[in-house]
Amino acid sequence: ILVMDEPTTPLSSRETEHLFGLIRQLREEGLAIIYISHRMAEIYELSDRVSVLRDGSYVGTLERESLSAERLVAMMVGRDISGFYKKEHAPYDPGHLLLSVRDIADGERVRGCSLDLHAGEVLGIAGLVGAGRTELARLIFGAEARTRG
């Protein structure tokens, strides 16, 4: 049995991807793993079952097939929070263009991403662990060399 408590906290996305590969390999070899994380994407990606604790007490266990963000969060906080936040949004009226990225790539993880960012806009970039989110951000602000774009 291997217990891992927040193992990706100090890791880069590449290191995390490597760790996940090792975890999958160990699972295939029959090793049992307890994986502790507050990062929901990691829980969804790796777990066959998820046990939830709240205030130090066991709340329940969900099988992968019945795992959903809504159900997991409800178990974690002790109530359904779907009605907690209004789903109303102000009409979208983009301001002037501040940033335009076209076909940016790093030759590895990011392969041709384009986006525009306007004044007063919040642009979310989503993806599972290892999908290239951090690498894209580093390319955009110049911390990594780009191969195109």
For 91, what's the count of Cα atoms within 13 Å in the CB-facing half-sphere?
Answer: 1
For 112-121, write each residue's pLDDT tens digit: 888 888 887 7
For 12-66, write each residue's pLDDT tens digit: 889 999 999 999 999 988 888 989 888 888 988 898 888 887 776 778 888 888 8
d(CA 144, CA 106): 8
Token pair recorded at residue 98? 């501040």
For 73-132, write each residue's pLDDT tens digit: 788 877 665 555 555 666 667 778 888 989 999 988 888 888 888 887 767 776 556 777
**Backbone phi, psi, residue 23, to 5°:** -60, -45
